[in-house]
Amino acid sequence: MQINKMKFGKIKKVLLGAGLSSLLAASMSSQAHTPMNKVPNFDEFSEWVHDWEKFDTLYANEALDVLDMHLHPGSYDKLGPKGKEFVKSVFPIDLPDSLKIPLLRFFSSFQLNPYGAFIGIKNECRRAAANNCILFATYAPETWGIEPNEDLLGYLDDDRNTFNDMPFFYGLASINVADWDRDKVSNLSNLEAALSHPRIVGIKLAFAHTLTPFDDPRYFDIYKLAQKYNKPVYHHVGTSPLRKVSEFEEDQLPFVMRTFDPMYLEEAVKQFPQVKFILGHAGNDANHEGYSKIEEVFYLAEKYENAYIEISALGSERNDPNGEIMDGVLKRAKNSNILNKVIYGSDGPGSPGKTKSYKELVLESMQRVDLSFDEAQQVMAGNARRIFGIPAPSQN
């Protein structure tokens, strides 16, 4: 449906006048746990960002190539019950659900649509000067919900998936691990079909969201498929923003730890040396409960050739207001000589402008720890292009 600018201008005034723009920060996607701290200026958002519009990321006075490996498409209706309750709870105005829910549906139709007008994912990625982005499928029925492989493939096959005559979006497929003993064969078949697609470049798993133990060998067949198709495996590592450890009983903690502590992933990393394991969020303590797993992530990345570190959400204003956590991660990676294993992602889209502003926070951290241009380029795109096999943009 074509949206005229006059109509959207009225929508902007309503959003600003009612303060509802803060909702856009806390709506659907795993960036939702990074709330907005200021009202955005919606006049900055044109309806579409065109290929001819040039955006650059400068570092040391040179233009960086940027590949954002962590974007979540979706919609309000695809969220799980915990996700829906969360986005409703952060709604800034006391309204009945009969009003909140239609507004959430409306916002997500722009914000979490890869090809949505104004604040859609592609528009936001282009404004962040990304040359490519990776979209995630998601199977977390209780928390962030289900964004199935079939929908992801639809985004990748869409005629609008282009930038300068090359694909813009690539994807990480996922798998439903619920009712595993009953549905294992069919779910693995679904994943394998997705892995056959030329723009699917890896697998995304979120065991912290699904309460699935890293060390349970019943799930190792997923890694066998990854090995067969030579696809990296991205694991959410660290706690889930929608599952606080404090919500569990003490006798449940040993099991819960197995779903987010990367040390329980070590056996899989050892058993599948040909599979690249990407440790998401660098083991971030999402709820600031004292469960940071950054040290364990570095243990694995420094010990095993096939273990990598991804830094999305870690350096957000909410999680790391002074930049100390991101500084520490980048400095240690530099001192340990493993910057070639650190991968940039934003965990977007988040609120309008957050895909760009997160990138800027990471670049500021790189400057503080004195990364060279070549080192910054590795993290911001080079490592991801090498690991996922995504070609660099044309220099023409």
Ordered alpha helix ranges (H), the chain: 5-18, 23-26, 81-89, 97-111, 121-127, 149-157, 180-195, 207-210, 221-229, 253-257, 266-271, 294-303, 324-335, 354-368, 373-377, 383-388
pLDDT of residue 107: 86
- From first to last of its 396 residues, what are the pLDDT tens digits of the chain? 344 444 445 444 444 433 344 444 443 333 444 333 344 455 667 889 998 999 999 999 999 999 999 999 999 999 999 999 988 887 767 889 999 999 889 988 999 999 999 999 999 999 999 999 999 999 999 999 999 999 999 999 999 999 999 999 999 999 999 999 999 999 999 999 999 999 999 999 999 999 999 999 999 999 999 999 999 999 999 999 899 999 999 999 999 999 999 999 999 999 999 999 999 999 999 999 999 999 999 999 999 999 999 999 999 998 999 999 999 999 999 999 999 999 999 999 988 899 999 999 999 999 999 999 999 999 999 999 999 999 999 864
pLDDT of residue 41: 53
Give backbone dihedrals phi and psi of 290, rounded to 5 degrees, phi first: 90, 25
For strand 62-64 and strand 57-59, is the pairing parallel, antiparallel, or unpaired?
antiparallel
pLDDT of residue 33: 40
Is the separation of the CB atoms in 233 and 278 below 8 Å? yes
pLDDT of residue 377: 98
Domains of the chain: 57-74+112-388 (3.20.20.140)
pLDDT of residue 86: 87
Whole-model pTM? 0.91
pLDDT of residue 242: 92
In the numeric block, which tokens belong to residue 121?
């994912």
